[in-house]
Amino acid sequence: MNYKFKELPATWVLIGINVVVFLMMTLAGGSQNIRVLIRFGANFAPYVSMGQYWRLFTAMFLHIGLEHLALNMLTLYFLGASLEPLLGTARFTALYLVSGVCGNAASYALTNGLSAGASTALFGLFGGYLMLGESFRSNPYVRMMARQFLVLVILNLGFDLLDSGIDIWGHVGGLFGGFLAGYAFGAPKLGSVPRWKRILGAVTILLFLLIMFKSGFIYSYFKV
């Protein structure tokens, strides 16, 4: 697949931002340098608890090492090529960003380590596709792709459990946020999503973020 910018504007812009930030981090001392990561906005619970909530947003644009960046950007390209045309640029972008924040909020609440990467948002794109599969089962293409992505999600979460260095809570939070955001934003190009599902999706996201914020703040000083 070789998509031009005008076909996938959001996907290419997001890839571009991630690459530029990585280059800036490299010039600033290295993307694997802890001080550089914190300075550029990595997700770190003690700092978030001090009021630096913007880290839940900026962390999705940082990567730890070239391999980390390359793998995530390749995944973003293929997911974007499949999902952005179905949702439209605005909804795709909103889904990506909301999912990233949800994933980082879960990581903040349930871990105490430093985390960064687009994977929270990428799992949200998986979640968005699962929503499409549930809502538009009569569409054979969407149903087939949703099943394939479900298998990928299960495999990825299984590998996460075997690797202590991976932020599984960030992935689960992103997946959950993306699934709900998919309902909240809808997919007019495919059909209508019931109004009650859209409202429920939006309200649940807000409640989820509120719970994660409160839990992270209350328990941040008791984490090991």
**Residues known to be catalytic:** 119, 171
Cβ proximity of 102 and 122 under 8 Å:
no
**Widest Cα–Cα separation across the chain:** 51
How far is CA 113 from each of CA 34, 42, 137, rounded to the nearest angstrom?
Answer: 11, 10, 39
Residue 88 Ramachandran class (φ > 0 left, ψ -120 to 50 alpha, else beta): left
Dihedral in degrees, nearest 10, Cα atoms 64, 163, 156, 170: -60
| Distance (Å, whole) CA 124 – CA 80 | 12
| Distance (Å, whole) CA 23 – CA 189 | 36
Q: Which residues contact 103 (CB under 8 A, 6 or more apart)?
A: 60, 119, 120, 121, 123, 124, 170, 171, 172, 173, 174, 175, 177
